[in-house]
Amino acid sequence: PELLVLNPAGSIPIMEDGDLILTESSAILVYLAAKAAPEWLGSGKAEEAARVQQWLSFSGRLTASLGGARLHEMLLRPGDIGALQA
Ligand SMILES: N[C@@H](CCC(=O)N[C@@H](CS)C(=O)NCC(=O)O)C(=O)O
């Protein structure tokens, strides 16, 4: 119940920074980079902005497939392990 208050979707990671609550790893990464190392987000040029989004999308796909495989193998969550490894 405590987790669902922070994220009704029930997933982790969840980050709290003062009153701010963020979910979704890509949003958390962008927030941390913007605060600590904004140059990592590029100069605002079209190609650099697209490259940041490209890597965040790649990261999201990895999280979905590897996270799903881990839940299946370690926590016995039903799933198609072949599809999760693709
Ligand atoms: N798109 C989310 C995916 C997060 C995600 O899949 N988290 C998994 C753990 S790695 C989770 O909380 N799963 C909970 C569940 O499936 O019940 C992100 O990038 O933060």
Domain ranges, ordered by start, for the chain = 1-41, 42-86
d(Cα 52, Cα 8) in Å, to the nearest integer? 27
Give average pLDDT by consecutive 10-residue segment, the chain, 86 residues: 94 95 96 96 94 94 86 87 82
Question: Which pLDDT does position 65 carry in this prediction?
Answer: 86
> Is 7 a pocket residue for ligand 1 (Cβ < 6 Å)?
no
Question: Which pLDDT does position 66 carry in this prediction?
Answer: 86
Count of alpha carbons within 13 Å of 40, Cβ hemisphere only? 11
Question: Which pLDDT does position 71 carry in this prediction?
Answer: 86
**CA 12 – ligand 1 centroid, Å:** 5
Q: Which of 67, 69, 55, 4 shows the shortest CA–CA distance to 26?
A: 55
1-41 folds as: Glutaredoxin (3.40.30)
Q: Which of 63, 69, 67 shows the shortest CA–CA distance to 82?
A: 69
Mutate-to-test residue for ligand 1 from 3, 4, 12, highest number of ligand atoms within 8 A of CB? 12
Q: What are phi and psi of 64, to 5 degrees?
A: -65, -45
Question: Which pLDDT does position 48 carry in this prediction?
Answer: 95
